[in-house]
Amino acid sequence: MSALISGSLAYDVIMRFPGRFGEHILPERIHTLSVAFMVTELRREFGGCAGNIAYTLHLLGEKALPVGAAGHDFAPYLKWLDEIGIDRSYIRQLDDVYTAQAFINTDDDGNQITAFHPGAMARAEEQPLPANSGARIGIVAPDGRDAMIQHAAQFAEAGIPFIFDPGQGLPMFDGEELERFIDQATWLAMNDYEAGVFCEKTRLGLEEIAERVQALIVTRGSRGSIIHVNGDTLQIPSVEPNAVVDPTGCGDAYRAGLLYGLLNDLEWEITGRIASLAGSIKVANRGTQNHSFTPGEFAARFEAAYGYSFH
């Protein structure tokens, strides 16, 4: 079974500064800031919401079909997708721009300075949803503004149920636009902070939003997640990770778990726990596409964590 995954494709350039940013910034001279930080660690990771979600869904044993746009520098990422067996038929490569890139510099206190270049992501609407992919469900994850609007409308027009995940794209939309997404989507997924912003922009309460979709999923980090469905509120516990190494991409792994449960018509209590475990496994690994497991290994970890099998 397959899922269409609309979202960003990006490179994450991760840097480590062995010191504290605050020791090199003079508050009284902040208006004329000119600072250089010598970094001792640097790595380039494959990322972006579509790539990350597709990666974990692929590990879970389902067919992931990422839909998005990349730039002229995308060859290494394409090679990676080919090596692991993810279909990249619906990724449009644009020859006149770079792939979206985030440059993240972290100091010893965990403070971060990030620069983000959207590149091809800003033109992701040039890649429409495929008409005959055979996908059962989909997701609209953070991407270029026009692409999120276009792909949500195309999912709705095609009658393909999909998750709407505004994520970091939330500031791009006003309340009226967000309500349109609610009416188009089948399910809605956000973290607790985003849920607060979403409610403020739409002037709707969580209960009102939940009544307009089949399920509203709100993640809360180490406190687990809450799924509002059929008038009930399900409390989904978190899973203690083997180590807390890197939370980046945890939400994407969680959403892959949601897609897996939906593709297999599992109950929400089980789907939420699969998603929670997927996020926990990701947290214990550096980068967003470096964790690894087979479907059998995942099933065994699920049984160890929850005391029963989801098969």
By annotation, the residues acting in catalysis are 252
- Edge-to-edge strand list for the sheet holding 91-93: 91-93, 63-70, 2-6, 137-140, 162-164, 187-191, 215-219, 225-229, 232-236
First-residue to last-residue Cα distance in the chain: 16
Kindly list the distances between the CA atom of residue 142 and the CA atoms of 82, 168, 252, in Å, as whole numbers in the listed order.
Answer: 23, 6, 10
* Dihedral pair phi/psi, residue 202, rounded to 5°: -90, -15
CA angle 50, 54, 59 (to 5 degrees): 155
CB atoms within 10 A of CB 297: 12
Return d(Cα 164, Cα 284) in angstroms, integer: 26
Quote the DSSP letter at residue 90: T
Lookup: tokens for 300: 């065994």
